[in-house]
Structure 1
Amino acid sequence: MNTFYFIAFLSIFFSLLVIFAKNPVHSVLYLIITFFTFTIHYVILNAQFLAIVNFIVYMGAILVLFLFVMMMLNLNKESEPNKSNLIKIVGVIGGGCLMVTLVAAVKGLAKSQPVVLQNPDLGSVQNLGKVLFGEFLLPFEVSSILLLSAMVGAVLLATKDPKQPKTV
């Protein structure tokens, strides 16, 4: 249980660093660390599939894409546009609404009891595979055929026709 609280503290700490970092590249790097702490939480909660998906999809693909886009944009203070007072007021109102929601959630959390899973193998990859390839085999195969046809269509749309004249 102490490990859970330590990883929760790290999650909150690095998510605050994401918000308050001045450099956007540092912010994305802190976001990668934050998602890594979420992966550790999933492993602690016996949800191996969510941990693997979080690690591969979010940390491996989306955040690396964010990092490359931020590096390519070359963001600096001189190119940043001035924000109007209306946008600042809307930001303060949105932040206030978030604060009210967080306070209400923390008050509700103090009254609740921890959830104990009846089946400890509930989040395992083995059980997910049994359900996915048993009960949901047909929708799984249909979705794989749809993804394959979308990939072939994207490749066909991306290739140039050699008979078409070149445009300058």
Structure 2
Amino acid sequence: MSIFYFIAILSILFAVLVISAKNPVHSILYLILTFFTFTVQYVLLNAQFLAVVNFIVYLGAILVLFLYTLMLINLNKDSEPMKSTMVKIAAVLGGGCLMVVVIAALKAVGVSQPVLLKDPSLGLVKNLGKVLFNEFLLPFEVSSLLLLSAMVGAVLLATKDKKTTV
């Protein structure tokens, strides 16, 4: 359990660094570390499928896209507009509400017992595959046909019809 708590503390630390970083590129790099600690937590909780999906989808695709987008746009302080007083007041109220929620959550720390799984193979990919391809085979195949038709439609819409008029 000590590894779990260490990774949980790292997750919280990196999440705070995401919010408090001045440089947006550093903020996204801290977000990558935060999602990586989530992946480690999923592995520790025996949810390998969620770990792999989190690693591939979030770390491999979305955050890299965020990082490239931030590198491509120009983030000068000169081009940043001044915030109005209403935005600043809303930010202070939102931060105060967040502080109240965090204090209320910290009061309940240590009250509950850790959850122990009765079935240690609960989060395995093998069990997910059995359920997916036995009970939900028809919806799975219908969704694959819908995705295929959406892909064909996107390709048809993206290609321009080159008609030559004589």
TM-score by length of 2: 0.95
Aligned residues: 165
Residue 7, structure 1, aligned to residue 13, structure 2: no
Sequence identity percentage: 72
User: Any unmatched runs of 5+ in structure 2?
Assistant: none
Q: 1:164 to 1:56 in 2, by over 3 A?
A: farther
> Partners of 2:60 and 2:149 in 1: how far apart?
25
Q: How much does 1:110 deviate? A: 2.6
**1:112-149 deviation line (CA, Å, top 9, x unaligned):** 11111111111110111111111111111111110111
Unaligned runs of 5+ in 1: none
Matches of 1:57 and 1:164, distance apart in 2: 43
Task: Report the TM-score, using the length of structure 1 for normalisation.
Answer: 0.94
1:118, 1:109 → 2: CA distance? 24
In the TM superposition, structure 1's runs of 4+ consecutive aligned residues that sit over 3 Å from their partners are none
Letter in 2 for 1:138: L
Deviation per residue, 1:40-71 (Å, 9 max, x gap): 00000000010011001111111111111111
Equivalents in 1 of 2:143, 2:99: separation in Å? 40
Match of 2:118 in 1: 118
Structure 2 equivalent of residue 63 of structure 1: 63
Partner of 2:41: 41
The one-letter code matched in structure 1 to 2:100 is: V
SS at structure 2 position matched to 1:65: helix
Cα deviation 1:7-40 (Å, max 9, x = unaligned): 1111111111111111101111110011000000
**Residue identity opposite 1:48 in structure 2:** Q
AA aligned to 1:9 is: I
Aligned partners of 2:132 and 2:106: how far apart in 1?
A: 36
1:160 aligns with 2:160: yes
Residue 157 of structure 1 and its aligned partner are, at CA, apart by 0.6
